[in-house]
Amino acid sequence: MSSATDVDLQKVLRDNGFDNSELRMRSWELNCTVPTILEFPALFRKKNILHPTLCGIFSLYLFIMLGVLCNDYLVPSMERLCYALRMTYDVAGATFLAAATSTPELFVNFVGTFVTEGDIGVAAIVGSSVFNTLAVAAVCGIFTGVSEQLDWWPITRDIIWYLIAIAALCAVLYDANVSAIESGLMLACYFCYLLLLVLDRVIQSFFRGDNIYTTQVTEDPLDREESPLMSFRDHVCRMPGEESGKCAFIWWIIKYPCALILALTIPSVRTFYFLTMLMAIIWIGATCYLLTWFLTVIGYNIGIPDTLMGLTVLAAGTSVPEAISSYILTKKVLLA
């Protein structure tokens, strides 16, 4: 790239009102790859030590916010919905929880494909798939602290469908082009998976006879949960007691701003559990947009390509809701 073009690009990076789509269309003419940071606000475009430091701190706090969202709103509302529909934990985890916790990857991929038109969205999907398969299972096994023999049925069922999904994805991407018909066929495969989940108990009885092991949500989760039953004042504003120690008090101070904002904008799980789940998903999507922005700024300042950031840091970041939710549900089921 010529020096004149370098100057123009640096001017663009500082220009908040520049039309980024024009630069994308001229990227082939300029013989350069347009950085993804151009698709975000110009607040952190200038390279210096302060911007990646601030974005790193903001990213850590967003991870905390995702944890609060999952622990206090997403998982309780999903449990309440499963109780109303009389669903088992394994089917609920494969449907509602999987769809809800996959919102960050979907949102990041949407932004990366249609807004930034870069590789960071696809890379985040691929990286998060590996993270979910290996790291999430490891987190659940290590931190629950409970030894339990797993039932072979849901594991075998989901592994078979995962192999089918991978095979379908490879077949669709073989020619590096995804048509509308191919997209429809992949959606049809997913709906077939959902249909088999609905008929899971019937299929189990056919293969296993009366030897069916399922953990069904038979009691209202709010009857055995302390946190959702607390009032707004107790749940958000109550300070930890002296017996909790200084670490608990420091953690309460750090968590208080996001806990207050979420409590003011998300309805109670007891009264509007479906709306609670919807608002939690919206908050997760918004949080992950900011997370994408901040991680992109960090990668741009230290010279990491967008694709590599998506495969590693961003993939792990957008999978935080799934890791936290899976850990919470695993511990509840094993200790039930």
Q: By mean pLDDT, which of 62-76, 100-114, 116-130, 184-198 is the weakest?
A: 116-130
Contact (CB, 8 A) for 197 and 85: no
Segment 159-212, tens digit of pLDDT: 898 899 889 988 988 887 888 899 899 999 989 988 888 888 888 887 777 666
* pLDDT surpassing 90 at residue 327: no
Q: Show me where the domains of the chain are located.
A: 1-34, 41-151+213-335
Sequence-ordered list of residues with C-beta below 8 angstroms from that of 229, at least 6 positions apart, any chain: 222, 270
What values do phi and psi take at 53, rounded to 5?
A: -65, -50
Max mean pLDDT range (32-41, 115-124, 220-229, 246-255):
246-255
- pLDDT number for residue 192: 92
pLDDT exceeding 90 applies to what percent of the chain?
A: 6
Please calculate the CA angle 293-298-304 and round it to the nearest 5 degrees.
110
**Cβ atoms within 10 Å of 34's Cβ, excluding its own:** 19
| Segment 233-256 mean pLDDT | 75
| 139-161 per-residue burial string, b: 16 or more CB within 10 A, e: under 16 | bbeeebeeeeeeeebbeebbeeb
